[in-house]
Chains A and B, each alone.
Chain A
């Protein structure tokens, strides 16, 4: 992994100094703030939700507000990783330095993952606010964050891959958005397909039901394996793609 640290640091520098990271984080927090407000006002008026559906569960499950920003913001975070380096040619000094291809890929990937985590960090305040007003189930919170991190990490891996497969940031963003929206839509199959293996497959792939499960504090390890697959496979493809450019550029 020669070169991993400097590449991670430089990517973070680039993300925060070009205001991309700030724009994404601000946009995300704005939407989640709105989301939190809606959850809280909903909770305040409808007490019939019952004890098992606390506000944190409502925040992380049962709502599209949680994913919609991810579907759009993850592609924006990852789009420039490789596409921009290829467009501008900076990939040449980068790949001729004594660095390994996995170090380049993981360094870049981890940088966007750090931004992603930084984007979620302020939402812990909501947990604190809710905790101040009543009881918060620690397991629900932990499982919910585990789920958003695992799912987001997969989306970022897909975005990293599409950035390596295309030459322009725009097509990288579009391609990854289409891919993760397609993954998301597959989950709807759970509700529309007749009983059978197709329905089961869709249920297994559904991010929607993953979030519902985890937001009830239920950690299903099969889901985590799926998430891990969606991280590892695209990153592996990315490494292969970068190595392939050396042959065909």
Chain B
């Protein structure tokens, strides 16, 4: 039985149809990313999973408990961190976490240890006597994360856990997630693709209230972007030696664009995109043309799209696909 089972879930906010029939499963012990642009419906879905909002239609089960009939049992299995980490400003971190631990049924004798552990893991132990109203956004987020860990629930549902952190802290959060994945099923949302690439094994991608892709990250990455190849070659001594290669390469109508990605000594790598609807055999023609012009071809690789591009394809956006994009270099 999967940890989370969502079947044909709909949510309407008055006239706004935020979720339009989404279905997915999250397996036990797997760190799954819930990816989608802002407004896709991630927070809405997580709020329903956490039992905060009711579904308009559809079925949601957490650890086998149907949320419409067994919310309390499901809630006991979940550590939930809401998007903005709302907290009581008049409490100290420690007071707040003790309250939360008690609320989650952590026994009196275990409370101190449990709060201590959550503070250590989220690195707030040194501030535990600070008033929440005096905390920075990053620290509030950590308190929210510590709260989710209390009582060691088998499922962590985290809404944008790295938002509000600087890059250094993001690394810390990733390290924490890595440590937690041993004992917890984690379902985290993000609108940042590299986040999913860096931490998750599986992903569910949603866009405008619908699931547009789901599955293993590698499998998603392997979705080739049709008609894009990277050709690595040296120019040789022929007509290419001094040519403006971008115009030369796009001289044939089949080639929509060509851009240099890398240069290593003599070797240049060019990314070539075929025009829409062009038969892939055009690549063979291009290679033949290069060879004819005296180039020494070293490699022709159909491009394994970066997740970013898959994401952009799925959500109908354009990828931030410029030459110094670190995601593409690996």
Judge whether A13 is part of the interface by a CB distance below 8 angstroms. Answer: yes
- B100–A97 touching, CB < 8 Å: yes
Contacts of A249 in B (CB 8 A): 52-53
- B90–A97 touching, CB < 8 Å: no
- A6–B54 touching, CB < 8 Å: no
Judge whether A168 is part of the interface by a CB distance below 8 angstroms. Answer: no
- A98–B104 touching, CB < 8 Å: yes
**CB within 8 Å for A17 and B103 given contacts A92-B82, A100-B72, A247-B54:** no
Choice from B14, B90, B99 contacting A6 with Cβ under 8 Å:
B99
- Closest chain B residue to A10, Cβ basis: B99
- B86–A93 touching, CB < 8 Å: yes
Contacts of A99 in B (CB 8 A): 75, 103
A interface footprint on B46-84 (CB within 8 Å = 1, 0 otherwise): 010011111000000000000000001001101010101
Judge whether B7 is part of the interface by a CB distance below 8 angstroms. Answer: no
**CB within 8 Å for A98 and B54 given contacts A6-B99, A18-B90, A93-B82:** no
A124 to B50, CA, bound (A): 48
Judge whether B291 is part of the interface by a CB distance below 8 angstroms. Answer: no
Contacts of B14 in A (CB 8 A): 248
List B1-24 residues whose CB lies under 8 Å from chain A.
13-14
| Size of the chain A interface, CB-CB below 8 angstroms | 28
Contacts of A98 in B (CB 8 A): 72, 75-76, 103-105
- B99–A92 touching, CB < 8 Å: no
Judge whether B197 is part of the interface by a CB distance below 8 angstroms. Answer: no
- A97–B82 touching, CB < 8 Å: no
A9 to B95, CA, bound (A): 11
A246 to B11, CA, bound (A): 12
Judge whether A2 is part of the interface by a CB distance below 8 angstroms. Answer: yes
Choice from A9, A14, A96 contacting B88 with Cβ under 8 Å:
A14
Judge whether A7 is part of the interface by a CB distance below 8 angstroms. Answer: yes
Judge whether B212 is part of the interface by a CB distance below 8 angstroms. Answer: no
- Closest chain B residue to A7, Cβ basis: B103
Judge whether A95 is part of the interface by a CB distance below 8 angstroms. Answer: yes
Judge whether A139 is part of the interface by a CB distance below 8 angstroms. Answer: no
Judge whether B102 is part of the interface by a CB distance below 8 angstroms. Answer: yes
- B99–A88 touching, CB < 8 Å: no
Judge whether A50 is part of the interface by a CB distance below 8 angstroms. Answer: no
Q: How many whole Å from B11's CB to the nearest CB in chain A?
A: 10
**CB within 8 Å for A246 and B53 given contacts A6-B103, A98-B75:** yes
- B103–A92 touching, CB < 8 Å: no
A88 to B85, CA, bound (A): 10
Judge whether A217 is part of the interface by a CB distance below 8 angstroms. Answer: no
- B82–A13 touching, CB < 8 Å: no
Contacts of A6 in B (CB 8 A): 99, 102-103
Choice from A13, A88, A92 contacting B95 with Cβ under 8 Å:
A13
- B50–A96 touching, CB < 8 Å: yes
A246 to B50, CA, bound (A): 11
Contacts of A248 in B (CB 8 A): 13-14
- A13–B91 touching, CB < 8 Å: yes
A13 to B87, CA, bound (A): 15
A88 to B88, CA, bound (A): 8
Contacts of B91 in A (CB 8 A): 10, 13-14, 17
Q: How many whole Å from A226's CB to the nearest CB in chain B?
A: 35
Judge whether A89 is part of the interface by a CB distance below 8 angstroms. Answer: yes
Judge whether A69 is part of the interface by a CB distance below 8 angstroms. Answer: no
Judge whether B94 is part of the interface by a CB distance below 8 angstroms. Answer: no
A154 to B14, CA, bound (A): 34
- B86–A97 touching, CB < 8 Å: no
**CB within 8 Å for A14 and B90 given contacts A97-B100, A97-B104:** yes
- B76–A92 touching, CB < 8 Å: no
- B103–A95 touching, CB < 8 Å: no
List B127-183 residues whose CB lies under 8 Å from chain A.
144, 147
Judge whether A90 is part of the interface by a CB distance below 8 angstroms. Answer: yes
- Closest chain B residue to A88, Cβ basis: B86
Contacts of B72 in A (CB 8 A): 2, 98, 100
Q: How many whole Å from A244's CB to the nearest CB in chain B?
A: 9
Contacts of B104 in A (CB 8 A): 97-98
**CB within 8 Å for A96 and B103 given contacts A13-B91, A89-B84, A89-B86:** no
List A1-42 residues whose CB lies under 8 Å from chain B.
2-3, 5-7, 9-10, 13-14, 17-18
- A90–B54 touching, CB < 8 Å: no
Q: Which of B14, B88, B105 has the most CB of A within 10 A?
A: B88
Provide a sorted-by-A list of 12 A–B residue pairs whose CB atoms are within 8 angstroms: A6-B99, A6-B103, A14-B90, A93-B87, A95-B51, A97-B100, A97-B103, A98-B76, A99-B103, A247-B54, A248-B14, A249-B52
10 tightest Cβ-Cβ pairs between the two chains A and B: A89-B86, A98-B75, A6-B102, A96-B50, A90-B86, A97-B103, A247-B54, A246-B54, A92-B82, A98-B76
* Given A96-B78, A246-B51, 11 further pairs, Cβ under 8 A: A5-B102, A17-B91, A92-B82, A97-B100, A99-B103, A100-B72, A246-B52, A246-B54, A247-B53, A247-B54, A248-B14
